[in-house]
Amino acid sequence: MANQLCTVGSQSVRLQKEVYINGNASVVGKKEGEGPLGSLFDMVGEDDMFGCNTWEEAESSLQKDAVYLALGKAKRKPEDMRYIFAGDLLGQSIATSFGIMNYNIPLLGVYGACSTCGESLTVGAMAVSGGFAKEVVCVTSSHFASAEKEFRFPLAYGSQRPLSASWTVTGSGAFVLGDEKGENCQAKITGMTVGKIVDFGLKDSLNMGACMAPAAAATIAAHFIDYNSQPKDYDKIITGDLGSVGQRVLLDLLRDKGFDIADRHMDCGMEIYDPKKQDTHAGGSGCGCCAVTLSAYILKRLAEKNWKKVLFVPTGALLSKISFNEGQTVPGIAHGVVLESL
Amino acid sequence: MANQLCTVGSQSVRLQKEVYINGNASVVGKKEGEGPLGSLFDMVGEDDMFGCNTWEEAESSLQKDAVYLALGKAKRKPEDMRYIFAGDLLGQSIATSFGIMNYNIPLLGVYGACSTCGESLTVGAMAVSGGFAKEVVCVTSSHFASAEKEFRFPLAYGSQRPLSASWTVTGSGAFVLGDEKGENCQAKITGMTVGKIVDFGLKDSLNMGACMAPAAAATIAAHFIDYNSQPKDYDKIITGDLGSVGQRVLLDLLRDKGFDIADRHMDCGMEIYDPKKQDTHAGGSGCGCCAVTLSAYILKRLAEKNWKKVLFVPTGALLSKISFNEGQTVPGIAHGVVLESL
């Protein structure tokens, strides 16, 4: 039996069969635990090694713990999950490989830099809504120390950071998606807008907010056009990790496109730390930033019906140490996911 | 309207709506062009720089050209593609980001090491079969020089390689998938078996065939069990890049599980080079290896009805320079795709 096309406009989908977030969990490091959302996270590490020997192993343990807790909340076992959609920022996604291996769940690895949380939910929701799985789990992570080593300088160098720099969140968020509503279901996914790569030619890896903002603006505008909707149709429009610099760029670019979202925009990177007290400059970033904020804060607001419908738009900067050193630009990408209360 | 579940067994899918490969193309480097399949590739570079300034840019140009040629064969334009499912071996998938950016197609990045071709076809087929897209394009690549730099030593070191080492294929394969049969359609995708990470504890990144063979054996055995099928139901069972060492391990492991595939096993890594004349040791490897072999050789055999049904199983080794240097193992993963002639 043929499935009907559920495409909308040029790059969006409106799910014919909605997908339920039946379990979700967030695991973070010490600094995130001391931030404004600290009391909402499911697990806060005492230090950022999490009992491991390397930063990479510590990041793996974040994913392992987040999946464990999300499965617990959904009252499911690893073997109930048809696939795991997972990714992280490290080269060859090793935090994922070594983090989730022992769950023995068929793995589909995804990569979209810091937008990976949005991509994993997008592809995971397609798998469930399309009838390819009854239940899947999505997980993404980042770790401040492993990311600094991967993209910039080892921490031991003690290099200075400009005020436009963001602080990679040490954290992992996991989400159990299902085709039926579970008893701890927090919200449902009703649609997605898959983003394109947008390159404004910026090359500053210490100002990633500005590098990613054009992609966020493009995805959000495409979503409004595809859905024939307006900012007022959403209680919140939430970007991943643009930070304070990127937020200004985003609001300006969207205003130029005819959309004013200033009164309902929120950026996970600006929520997770107190930049004055915590010296985190432009805000939080990393795959983990929006993943843990989604689990701990956004889904809670939806579950409590403070918000009815949000557009969740994780943002990613598509660079590597090598592309940066070879003088390439830092293009951005952003994926939109429509989340609604039950 | 709810889509019906099309899951089979514990980790497989049998598509209710089959997906057509309406265009496909292969672009390779000089060495691959001199190998046994040389005359079958769509485009062979004169040298491995492809007119670019860096190895990474050269790999990006492979993806760009492969997508261009595959779209041409399908008589489609970039704007006809709803999504592009793409990936490569480099850290943060930069060959992909800079290769396909200008097509302006919404991107869903995938990572499964050298199994990425299988993963991109799996997720791409789900998107099309599930009604989330009418048409998508899938592309993956690898490049000998960028991969050596990423995983082992810069070429300029001139380091020696053991006979168990494989040679990363310089090449990219692209596939246009559609929900209706196009006029240049070569074959159809009828099912998939998503693989789990399998870790036998091996740590030798210069013997990746042995590291990946257990994952290939697990996926192939799971496929037979899920589908309640036998080796004789397939004209060929084709792994990605196990090479000669990995092939022996695979055949032994499957025999232990009760499946003898020796008379119908083929490994893309063993087809693409002449190991005696080309000094490529255990065989070819990399995301590009199975992708170009699928496009140039396997789909041709299916189109000519020499083969009616094959199980195509790209294999990946989940390591990075960092995980290797930190003493981690090299786990494997393999994804199975069922391809049938029209």
Q: How far is A59 from chain B (nearest CA, A)?
A: 12
Residue A2 inside a domain? The answer is: no
Residue B112 inside a domain? The answer is: yes
Give the Cα separation of B289 and B327 in Å (integer).
Answer: 27
Give pLDDT, residue B1. Answer: 42
Q: Do B108 and A112 touch (CB under 8 A)?
A: yes
Chain B environment of A100 (Cβ under 8 Å): 197
Give the Cα separation of A117 and A294 in Å (integer).
Answer: 9
Residues A251 and A230 in one domain: yes
Q: What is the mean pLDDT of residues A304-323?
A: 97
Q: Do B131 and A89 touch (CB under 8 A)?
A: no
Amino acid at B181: K
For an interface test with A, the pick among B97, B117, B177 (most A C-beta atoms closer than 10 Å) comes out as B97
Extended strands (E) in chain A: 7-8, 12-28, 43-44, 83-88, 107-109, 135-142, 167-168, 171-178, 187-193, 236-239, 265-267, 284-285, 309-313, 315-317, 332-334, 336-340
Chain B environment of A88 (Cβ under 8 Å): none
Q: Do A126 and B132 touch (CB under 8 A)?
A: yes
Which pLDDT tens digit goes with each residue over A111-132?
999 999 999 999 999 999 999 9
Residue A128 inside a domain? The answer is: yes
Average pLDDT along chain A: 96
Which pLDDT tens digit goes with each residue over B123-165?
999 999 999 999 999 999 999 999 999 998 888 888 888 999 9
Q: Do A126 and B127 touch (CB under 8 A)?
A: yes
Q: Do B331 and A11 touch (CB under 8 A)?
A: no
Pairing mode, if any, of strands B171-178 and B135-142? Answer: antiparallel
Q: Do B109 and A104 touch (CB under 8 A)?
A: no
Give pLDDT, residue B3. Answer: 64
Residue B173 CB: number of other CB atoms within 10 A?
A: 33
In chain A, the residue whose alpha carbon lies closest to the alpha carbon of B7 is A132
Q: What is the DSSP string of A261-281?
A: -GGGEEEHHHHSS-HHHH--T
Take residue B194 and report the two structure tokens written for it.
């998503």
Give pLDDT, residue B157. Answer: 87
Q: How far is A260 from chain B (nearest CA, A)?
A: 24
Residue B183 inside a domain? The answer is: no
Chain B environment of A104 (Cβ under 8 Å): 196-197
Give the number of beta-carbon pairs within 8 Å between A and B: 208
Q: Do A331 and B129 touch (CB under 8 A)?
A: no
Residues A199 and A129 in one domain: no
Residues B91 and B73 in one domain: yes
Which pLDDT tens digit goes with each residue over A30-49?
999 999 999 999 999 999 99
Q: Do A319 and B112 touch (CB under 8 A)?
A: no
Residues B150 and B264 in one domain: no
Q: Any idea which residue has 């996970």 for tokens?
A: A268
Take residue B15 and report the two structure tokens written for it.
């598509």
Q: Do B101 and A2 touch (CB under 8 A)?
A: no
What is the four-CA torsion angle of A128, A133, A134, A136, rounded to 10 degrees? -80
Q: How far is A86 from chain B (nearest CA, A)?
A: 9
> What domain range is A30 assigned to?
7-178
Which pLDDT tens digit goes with each residue over B197-217?
999 999 998 999 999 999 999
Q: What is the mean pLDDT of residues B46-74?
A: 97
Choosing from B178, B207, B224, the residue where a domain stops is: B178
Residues A174 and A192 in one domain: no
Q: What is the mean pLDDT of residues A226-245?
A: 97
- Give yes or no for residue A144 having a pLDDT over 70: yes
Residue B82 inside a domain? The answer is: yes
Select the residue of B11, B94, B106 nearest A196 (Cβ to Cβ).
Answer: B106
Residues B172 and B266 in one domain: no
Residue A98 inside a domain? The answer is: yes
Q: Do B94 and A56 touch (CB under 8 A)?
A: no
- Give yes or no for residue B94 having a pLDDT over 60: yes
- Give yes or no for residue B66 having a pLDDT over 60: yes
Select the residue of A5, A111, A321 nearest B93 (Cβ to Cβ).
Answer: A111
Q: What are the CB-based long-range contacts (under 8 Å, 24+) for B196-200?
A: B196/A104, B196/A105, B196/A106, B196/A107, B196/B11, B196/B333, B197/A97, B197/A100, B197/A101, B197/A104, B197/A107, B197/B318, B197/B331, B197/B332, B197/B333, B198/B331, B198/B332, B198/B333, B199/A101, B199/B329, B199/B331, B199/B332, B200/B329
Provide the number of structural domains found in chain A: 2
Q: Do A112 and B110 touch (CB under 8 A)?
A: no
Give pLDDT, residue A11. Answer: 97
Take residue A185 and report the two structure tokens written for it.
């279901």
Chain A environment of B98 (Cβ under 8 Å): 323, 328, 331
Give pLDDT, residue B205. Answer: 87
Residues A148 and A191 in one domain: no
For an interface test with A, the pick among B197, B205, B211, B315 (most A C-beta atoms closer than 10 Å) comes out as B197
Q: Do B195 and A328 touch (CB under 8 A)?
A: no
Give pLDDT, residue A3. Answer: 64
Q: How far is B7 from chain A (nearest CA, A)?
A: 6
Q: What is the mean pLDDT of residues A241-269?
A: 97
Select the residue of B7, B82, B113 nearest A132 (Cβ to Cβ).
Answer: B7
For an interface test with A, the pick among B59, B104, B107 (most A C-beta atoms closer than 10 Å) comes out as B107
CATH of the domain at A329: 3.40.47.40
Residues B193 and B152 in one domain: no
Residues A170 and A191 in one domain: no
Take residue A121 and report the two structure tokens written for it.
């939910």
Residues B124 and B207 in one domain: no
Choosing from A178, A204, A225, the residue where a domain stops is: A178
Residue A1 inside a domain? The answer is: no
Which pLDDT tens digit goes with each residue over A277-303?
999 999 999 999 999 999 999 999 999
Q: What is the mean pLDDT of residues B265-271?
A: 98
In chain B, the residue whose alpha carbon lies closest to the alpha carbon of A222 is B106
Cα B126 to chain centroid, rounded: 17
Q: Do A318 and B94 touch (CB under 8 A)?
A: yes
pTM above 0.80, yes or no: yes
ipTM exceeding 0.90, yes/no: yes
Choosing from A147, A178, A209, the residue where a domain stops is: A178
In chain A, the residue whose alpha carbon lies closest to the alpha carbon of B2 is A17
Q: What is the mean pLDDT of residues B259-288?
A: 96
In chain A, the residue whose alpha carbon lies closest to the alpha carbon of B336 is A106
Give pLDDT, residue A1. Answer: 42
For an interface test with A, the pick among B1, B92, B225 (most A C-beta atoms closer than 10 Å) comes out as B92
Q: Do B16 and A5 touch (CB under 8 A)?
A: no
Q: Determine contact, residues A144/A265, Cβ cutoff 8 Å.
A: no
Query: What counts of helices (H) and strands (E) characterise chain A?
Result: 12, 16
Residues A169 and A200 in one domain: no
Q: Do A92 and B323 touch (CB under 8 A)?
A: yes
Residues A58 and A113 in one domain: yes
Q: Do B110 and A105 touch (CB under 8 A)?
A: no
Q: How far is A112 from chain B (nearest CA, A)?
A: 6
Chain B environment of A1 (Cβ under 8 Å): 4, 16-17
Give pLDDT, residue A70. Answer: 98
Chain A environment of B196 (Cβ under 8 Å): 104-107
- Give A153's pLDDT tier (boundaries 50, 70, 90): confident
Take residue A174 and report the two structure tokens written for it.
């996991």
Cα B60 to chain centroid, rounded: 17
Chain A environment of B107 (Cβ under 8 Å): 112, 194-197, 333
Q: Do B91 and A5 touch (CB under 8 A)?
A: no
Give the Cα separation of A212 and A318 in Å (integer).
Answer: 9
Residue B150 inside a domain? The answer is: yes
Q: Do A326 and B197 touch (CB under 8 A)?
A: no
Which pLDDT tens digit goes with each residue over B104-126?
999 999 999 999 999 999 999 99
Q: Do B106 and A3 touch (CB under 8 A)?
A: no
Q: What is the mean pLDDT of residues A52-78?
A: 98
